[in-house]
Structure 1
Amino acid sequence: MKAVIIEDEPLIAKELVNKIAAVAADVEVIETLPSLKTARKWFMQNAEPDLLFMDIQLSDGVSFELFENFKLDCPVVFTTAYDDYAIRAFKVNGVDYLLKPVDEGELQKAIDKCRSLLSNKTSFPADMQQLMASLAVPRQNLFKEKFIVNQRNNWIPVDTKDIACFVRDNLNYLYTFNGEKYILDYTTLEDIEELLDPKVFYRANRQSIIHINAIQSVKPHENQKLSVFLKSPLKMEFDISREKAPSFKKWFDR
């Protein structure tokens, strides 16, 4: 089984990796992610693992927020310092909840439970989704609502919801849905990507980020790459690599 750990304390993450190796030789930890931001990027670019270990309170938010961006069907083991009432609430349908520091015996039982879920191909329970939603802490808007562009020595606000795509071509540009083009005063597309809601914006390649509502059609190729065509008046085309094609399809088909 391939597992991913989301934990913002490096020493705790390393300790959990070692404990997993000690109690479950068949579980391979393929990635440790230290924040919500890195977790969002990872899940945008990779298929979900067989098993997920998640701390709840991260440095940049609550891990439950990932379920707002991604439909995850893999079993989840929460590792936390929360009170017992929450722990009892989460003892449902094989999704477990472990207190830090994690006890190896409890960890082994949790992994066995998840292994059973996987062998029976049981999907993530709906009541757990509802429970997480009820316990999640309301968050502030973490994403940029507008970008300021310079036009004829005037600052012009462009609402993020009106932006069809961002393109890197020596400089960084934004294109609106009605075809307007503006230079952005940002050094890299990575800087821009961090400000955007990953539910509606997708990093297609090194040169572009696209809005889901700007897409006219997608053409698959025999080599498993994709060509994405934007709506008029833009009529732009972007390539998506074979490696990113599965994550794009998961993002687009929801």
Structure 2
Amino acid sequence: MAINTLIVDDEKPAREELAFLLKGFPEINLIGQGKNGVEAVNLIKEHSPDLVFLDVQMPGLDGFGVLKKLVERKARVPHVVFATAFDHYAVQAFDVNAVDYVLKPFDKSRIAKAIARARREMEADTSPAERLEKLVSQLAGPKPAVSSAPVKLLIKSQQRMLLVDAEDLVFATIADGLITVCARETDGTSNYRTLEEMHAALDADAFWRPHRSYLVNIHHIKEVVPWFKSSYMLKMNDKKQTEIPVSRQQTKRLRELFKL
């Protein structure tokens, strides 16, 4: 069964990367791309797609705004897979309402799961409209209060197990499945299995994934260094002044953070 699919994202590199990955799925028939929320509403109305990969963070009418417009107009709602880079509250809402999402930077295996899930729901003739409407209502309501209690992370360093305040964490990186942590006073390794899991335990306003292999504390970024082809490096304020790359997909978030 061919799945007629749309991609909507305001960043051209993100659209191109996702379109390239979707070429690896023969059941996907990519019928169009949009670069903002208004185009998304019009494309969905015009093409009546089966599946839409929809960016959450877009200027003007964002991904949730697109969804709200469709619900308000009682239009046919396609199966939606949200693409998000950093909104942990939104991710929690997706999970609660069984709405699918993929995190940026995109991972082919995660996209495969999203497509498989959409296919199962289509074959079962399950409409996503009710779940998506609940999602819109939940996101429109007040966000839950965030605990102000300091988070401590366990770091293994030279056969010692040290507790480090989250605010002292400079950055973390993963290689070969092992997470290495750099804090203000010590370095070591963490028992977290993934950076996603570590990120979820930390303050979403203070920590950011500039690259698939890194998690950084925004308050410990010392300098933003322009790099080639409009890319950037982050110079951290650890003893080594480590330089961390910013992926193409996260350049938008960098500009939002520091008003570049």
What TM-score do the two structures reach when normalised by structure 1? 0.50
1:176-215 mapped onto 2 (5 Å cutoff):
176-178=183-185, 180-215=186-221
Structure with more helix by fraction: 2
1:174 to 1:37, Cα distance in 2 relative to 1, 3 A: farther
Superposition pairs of residues 107-186 of structure 1, within 5 angstroms:
136=142, 139-141=145-147, 145-151=151-157, 153-170=159-176, 171-178=178-185, 180-186=186-192
Task: Tell me if 1:16 matches 2:94.
Answer: no
Distance 1:144 1:20 in 2: 45
Which residue of the partner structure matches residue 36 of structure 1? 89
Find the aligned partners of 1:32 and 1:202 in 2 and give their Cα distance.
Answer: 16
1:21–1:168: structure 2 CA closer, same or farther, 3 Å change rule? same
**What do residues 101-127 of structure 1 show as CA deviations (whole Å, max 9, x unaligned)?**
xxxxxxxxxxxxxxxxxxxxxxxxxxx
Residues 225/4 of structure 1: CA separation in 2 closer, same or farther (3 Å cut): same
Aligned length: 162
In 1: Cα distance, 2:241 partner to 2:74 partner:
52
CA distance in 1, matches of 2:237, 2:224: 11
Alignment check: 8 A CA contact 1:5 1:32 kept? no
8 Å contact from structure 1 (residues 175, 182) kept in 2: yes
Q: Residue 202 and residue 140 in structure 1: after superposition, are their counterparts in 2 closer, same or farther (change >3 A)?
A: closer
Match of residue 81 from structure 1 = none
TM-score, with length taken from structure 2: 0.49
Map of 1:237 onto structure 2: 243
After TM superposition, the structure 1 stretch with the greater mean CA deviation from structure 2, 220-229 or 199-208, is 220-229
User: Percent identity at matched positions?
Assistant: 16
How far off its partner does 1:39 sit? Answer: 7.4
Aligned to 1:224: 230
- State how far apart, in whole Å, the 2-side matches of 1:242 and 1:40 are: 26
Matches within 5 A, 1:98-109: none
What letter matches 1:4 in structure 2?
A: G
Q: Is the 8 A contact 1:168 1:189 kept in 2?
A: yes
In 2: Cα distance, 1:205 partner to 1:166 partner: 11
2:217 alignment partner AA: H
**Structure 2 residue runs without a partner (length 5+):** 1-37, 41-61, 95-100, 106-132
> Residue type of the partner of 1:172?
I
Matched residue of 1:244: which SS? Answer: helix
Please report how far the alpha carbon of residue 140 of structure 1 lies from its aligned counterpart in structure 2 after TM superposition: 4.4
The aligned counterpart of 2:136 is 55
State the Cα distance separating 1:150 from its structure 2 match. Answer: 3.1
Rounded Cα–Cα distance in structure 1 between residues aligned with 2:202 and 2:195: 11
Q: 1:23-72 CA deviation, whole Å, 9 max, x = no partner?
A: xxxxxx78488982427998x969xxxxxx86343xxxxx3xxxxxxxxx
* Superposition CA RMSD, Å: 4.4
Report deviation, 1:163.
0.4
**C-alpha distance 4-224 of structure 1, shift in aligned 2 (>3 A):** same
Distance in 2 between residues matched to 1:35 and 1:247, nearest whole Å: 14
Q: Tell me the equivalent position of 2:64.
A: 5
Larger Rg: 1
